[in-house]
Amino acid sequence: MILKVIFRILACLAIILTIFPFLAADAWWIRMFDFPHVQLTFLTLFILLIYFFKFERKNWKDYLFILALVTCFIVQGIKIYPYTPFAPYEVNNSSKDKSDLKVYVANVLQKNKKHQKVIQQIEAYRPDLFLLTETNQAWLASIDKVFHSEYPYQIKVPLPNTYGMLLYSKKELIQPQVHYLIEDSIPSLDFQLKIKNRLVQLYVIHPKPPMPQHAKTSEKRDAEMMLVAKKIHQQPNQPHIVLGDFNDVAWSRTTTLFQEVSQLLDVRKGRGFFNTYDANSFLMRWPLDHIFVSKEFRVNNIELGKDNHSDHFPIYTELRFEPEKANSQQKNAPSSKELKQAEKEMN
């Protein structure tokens, strides 16, 4: 009897945590439950199986709990299904082997002193462009010493507050700019690259996470994401790429709205979770570092990099620019309701 009560309590907890992400609230203690969604799904399945096979179903309460758990499991499964290999690709594979843009993205952990591990990874991948976040002056000195000549186009914003950025490129950066969209201590990058004689607009962001030591709500993070989404929405004929540590998971309501408004595509969908955080935990991992692209791009390769002594794993992808096939993977235009919600998030 005691065991059954314990599992009923766990069932109630699973139900509450399933409902939390749907609440229109920005408090950190609500938004933080967007992150462990995969873990919650397996917890719900575990409770459901134990409850179903271990205990006798004697009254309506038992059937109510089973029904609620099944409903939660279905809701949770729907959210994570697009990131499983069973789902269709959102960004199709390229039919050509040659890539037009190879990108490496890593939150290196500012206090990480083993810079050489990151340097070795970059040397192994040889990307056309790499982005490092959480970079200070010490990181700048190490990276610049090795890659200054090979990557002549650079945007350097080293900061001591864990929001510094370093971006190095073999391709010319056109009109590179550093913005402080929401806070004067949180930079974002804005520039263009020329690929096959077309200008591609790139944005880089690293907003604060909704955690008590960073921000008590998700308002500023959400606002920064929506500002970038709105810019992209206002340039419908411009190819785009957005990179960075979003401090938000791919399936959250905010990232979903970001995708709907911007009409960008997630290179993960249909390929896997590629959980970049937390590299120090085997169980509590989720995708925080993202690469979103517009309909003109195809994927040649995507992989999660190995441990480099950061609390994030790097993510690497090889993209091919195929604008002639763009219409085959075009997302629907955002609804008026979605646009209004994005405006609300920005204010």
In a domain, 92, yes or no: no
Same domain, 239 and 271: yes
At 100, phi and psi to the nearest 5? -100, -20
Query: What whole-number distance in Å separates Cα of residue 143 and Cα of residue 137?
Result: 10
Answer yes or no: do 301 and 185 share one domain.
yes
Domain co-membership, 204 together with 140: yes
Determine, yes or no, domain membership for 190. yes
pLDDT in tens, the chain (347 residues): 677 778 778 888 888 888 877 777 788 778 888 888 889 999 899 988 887 777 666 777 778 878 888 999 999 999 999 999 999 999 999 989 999 999 999 999 999 999 999 999 999 999 999 999 999 999 999 999 999 999 999 999 999 999 999 999 999 999 999 999 999 999 999 999 999 999 999 999 999 998 887 888 999 999 999 999 999 999 999 999 999 999 999 999 999 999 999 999 999 999 999 999 999 999 999 999 999 999 999 999 999 999 999 999 999 999 999 999 999 999 999 999 999 999 999 98
| Residue 295 resides in a domain | yes
In a shared domain, residues 268 and 190: yes
Which domain-ending residue is among 83, 118, 137? Answer: 83
Report the b/e string of 30-62 with b at 16+ CB within 10 A: bbebbbbbbebbebbbebbeebeeebeeeeeeb
pTM: 0.93
With beta carbons less than 8 A apart as the criterion, state whether 207 and 246 touch: yes
307 and 206 together in one domain: yes
- Cβ burial of 126 (10 Å; 0-12, 13-18, 19+) is exposed
Among 54, 83, 112, give the residue marking a domain's end.
83
Whether residues 51 and 116 share a domain: the answer is no
Domain check: are 137 and 269 in the same one? yes
Among 25, 56, 83, residue at a domain's last position: 83
Query: Does residue 129 sit in the same domain as residue 220?
Result: yes
Co-location of 54 and 152 in the same domain? no
The CATH number of whichever domain residue 249 belongs to comes to 3.60.10.10
Task: Domain count for the chain, please give it.
Answer: 2
Q: Are 43 and 190 in a shared domain? A: no
Domain limits for position 260:
101-346
